[in-house]
Chains A and B, each alone.
Chain A
Amino acid sequence: RKEVEQDPGPFNVPEGATVAFNCTYSNSASQSFFWYRQDCRKEPKLLMSVYSSGNEDGRFTAQLNRASQYISLLIRDSKLSDSATYLCGCITGFQKLVFGTGTRLLVSP
Chain B
Amino acid sequence: GAVVSQHPSRVICKSGTSVKIECRSLDFQATTMFWYRQFPKKSLMLMATSNEGSKATYEQGVEKDKFLINHASLTLSTLTVTSAHPEDSSFYICSARDTNNYGYTFGSGTRLTVV
Q: Interface on A for B, CB 8 Å cutoff?
A: 34, 41-46, 87, 94-102
Q: A42 touching B44 by the CB < 8 A rule?
A: no
Are A96 and B49 CB-contacts (below 8 A) given A42-B108, A43-B108?
A: yes
Q: How large is the interface on B (under 10, 10 to 19, 20 to 34, 35 or more residues)?
A: 10 to 19
Instruction: Write out the residue numbers on chain A whose beta carbons fall within 8 Å of the beta carbon of B43.
Output: 87, 99-102
Instruction: Write out the residue numbers on chain A whose beta carbons fall within 8 Å of the beta carbon of B49.
Output: 94, 96
Instruction: Write out the residue numbers on chain B whose beta carbons fall within 8 Å of the beta carbon of A98.
Output: 46
Instruction: Write out the residue numbers on chain B whose beta carbons fall within 8 Å of the beta carbon of A101.
Output: 42-43
Q: Mark B40-73, 1 if CB is under 8 A from A, else 0.
A: 0011101001000000010000000000000000
In whole angstroms, how far apart are the Cα atoms of A44 and B44 in the complex?
Answer: 9
CB proximity of B1 to chain A, nearest CB, Å: 10
Instruction: Write out the residue numbers on chain A whose beta carbons fall within 8 Å of the beta carbon of B95.
Output: 97
Are A43 and B106 CB-contacts (below 8 A) given A94-B49, A96-B34, A97-B95?
A: yes
